[in-house]
Structure 1
């Protein structure tokens, strides 16, 4: 049995090695995807172009502008004299935020009166707008505290009222890379294993060598194991590459147990490989296998919680997400890498991946056996 499986593995390795372009793609795709999505799929908002309409023109108003200029959230692109010019820049998308300082602002600050300023945020992109809005208010509140301390000689810490002292665990800087990079690892692994496995079986059928394998003493299960085994190794190599890049290049801290992560990743690969084999039993050509892979991959990306929080989805889509293995893998990756947890909090996700893997591989093996017969 093992000799026959070894022969199939050897044959598949020769296929891979003799096609250097495909071999290069196997290792370049995850790296390219990690860099593209690692930089593009981020919720950190920086350098939002801001225009200033300053009708006061006092040292106090200039100090407020300098406060916004000092942070990297906003980038002051210039001053305007009229509201029409401000609206024109916002309409054209040249500016996404505007600071309006009315006349008398400086006098109000010096007199200790309530000083009012205007903030306009372009809401056409809600993700940018919500972060820019929160940052703009936070900067204004901090500057207001400084004014109180300096002009009225008041220490806000000694004033009566609530004194909240929040602490952020696991990701104190709240960097989106610490959240996105572990998720991208799962998505890239699923894409590679599904696509490569589906195409490996379909390629035999396209080249007419499947019939030659059928007449050999190799059993269907042995053929499946032999065809899949090399891609498991490739998946783990890609896993190591993108995990290392995530830690060294994107500075994502790894706080958990590497052995536990590799073991649970094996359960996830089991379901992804099973889905790839299922695709191979349906597709007749490699192009069709690729299209079916993308057809299954897109719902996984959008419904598993990779880009959008599951809690914000309609209830029906939340129920559907329970049928997506990537949902559970994302929890495992983010919990082990970012939080450093052990197996105890992840039993539900582990059992779910095990059930999905056994079901996918069992169904794929059954359909594959019928296809050979």
Structure 2
């Protein structure tokens, strides 16, 4: 081995890396992004869950309990309703993740907590949680441990059971019910973005772009033509996950199956548009894979699939709202687990449509039928 020749090769590789600005940026960008996401944005503390209050007692103690629970910052009481039907509508639409129900006989139940007349007095409070999100169940369990009497009269904490947890949509608390719908988004993100990110780049590397230049195909037709074949592939993947999820894990599909595919189709198009946009930035298939991976991590970690969305700092939440997977997780869980319709979840659908419009427009504008 000749040390001089070896050093020459090393210097040559470093110079080539310096000219490849995208790869050089990824060397710094990927560890920086991972550090920020895991160390700052990913917070297991659950705070500010959107919630509603159904106060059927309308007493001073009931209002004190609502105020005290609000000060814990676990639940953010945004709605005060009068009927259980209003609670059900808000939860189906995904506007709330939890609800505090104070029964009409709240004062009597509170007295029973201090008496020995009944061995198992009824809990004075009821917390209804959205079982389609496992994180919300954990937050409700934390609130159930709070001493109710201490909230009203500090220093008089009682060991009695004060809160009854009612788990909507997943009463058995089975983990696959929460994870399988979100896995549809993870699988589609990893395949659709990567496939299309390499589509145009592959044409350039293999020399097929010369043939496309000689054809009367417009940039719009070229971009859409690259996207359409993968739409069918994405729908096949959705079908496979649904069939296996129902057959093996008994995951329910409470909403219309047509709405499930409608939400999946919107997300597939959004992911493909992101992939096509990435392909217009990359100069090689390796760069395309790097950029695709660069979008995987924030989408999976910030979408609410793995970590509590409400526990993230505001800047991380604003960033998450940009990515299509955040809206798809809300859509697919709402339809499959809560039985909601697309019309009830239209804000998430509108966000996906806006993302598609922006990324596809930029991709079309950046697509040029020229080798340079």
Q: Taking structure 1 as the reference length, what is the TM-score of the superposition?
A: 0.55
Distance change (3 Å), C-alpha of 1:371 and 1:326: farther
Answer whether contact 1:277 1:364 (CA < 8 A) is retained: yes
Indicate the SS of the match to 1:343: coil
Between Structure 1 and Structure 2, how many residues are aligned? Answer: 221
Answer whether contact 1:281 1:371 (CA < 8 A) is retained: no
Equivalent position of 2:282 in the other structure: 283
How big is each residue's C-alpha offset from its partner over 1:169-218, in whole Å with a ceiling of 9 and x where there is no partner? Answer: 10001112111111110111122111111112111111001111111112
Indicate the SS of the match to 1:166: strand
Indicate the SS of the match to 1:168: strand
Distance change (3 Å), C-alpha of 1:369 and 1:307: same
- Residue 371 of structure 1, CA deviation: 6.1
Equivalent position of 2:324 in the other structure: 325
Equivalent position of 2:306 in the other structure: 307
Unaligned runs of 5+ in 1: 1-42, 44-126, 139-160
Equivalent position of 2:56 in the other structure: none
Distance change (3 Å), C-alpha of 1:281 and 1:163: closer
User: What does 1:1-373 align with in structure 2 at a 5 Å threshold?
Assistant: 164-369=163-368
Tell me the C-alpha RMSD between the 2 structures: 2.7
How big is each residue's C-alpha offset from its partner over 1:129-187, in whole Å with a ceiling of 9 and x where there is no partner? Answer: x98xx89x99xxxxxxxxxxxxxxxxxxxxxx767543211000111211111111011
How big is each residue's C-alpha offset from its partner over 1:83-120, in whole Å with a ceiling of 9 and x where there is no partner? Answer: xxxxxxxxxxxxxxxxxxxxxxxxxxxxxxxxxxxxxx
Unaligned runs of 5+ in 2: 1-43, 45-133, 146-159
Q: Taking structure 2 as the reference length, what is the TM-score of the superposition?
A: 0.55
Q: Distance in 1 between matches of 2:359 and 2:335?
A: 25
Q: Distance in 1 between matches of 2:162 and 2:234?
A: 50
Q: Distance in 2 between matches of 1:275 and 1:162?
A: 50
Q: Distance in 2 between matches of 1:244 and 1:343?
A: 21
Answer whether contact 1:303 1:321 (CA < 8 A) is retained: yes
Higher CA-based Rg = 1
Q: Which runs of 4+ in 1 moved over 2 A?
A: 161-167, 369-373
How big is each residue's C-alpha offset from its partner over 1:329-365, in whole Å with a ceiling of 9 and x where there is no partner? Answer: 0000101111111123201111111111111111111
Q: Distance in 2 between matches of 1:360 and 1:332?
A: 21
Q: Distance in 2 between matches of 1:218 and 1:324?
A: 30
- Residue 303 of structure 1, CA deviation: 0.9
Indicate the SS of the match to 1:369: coil
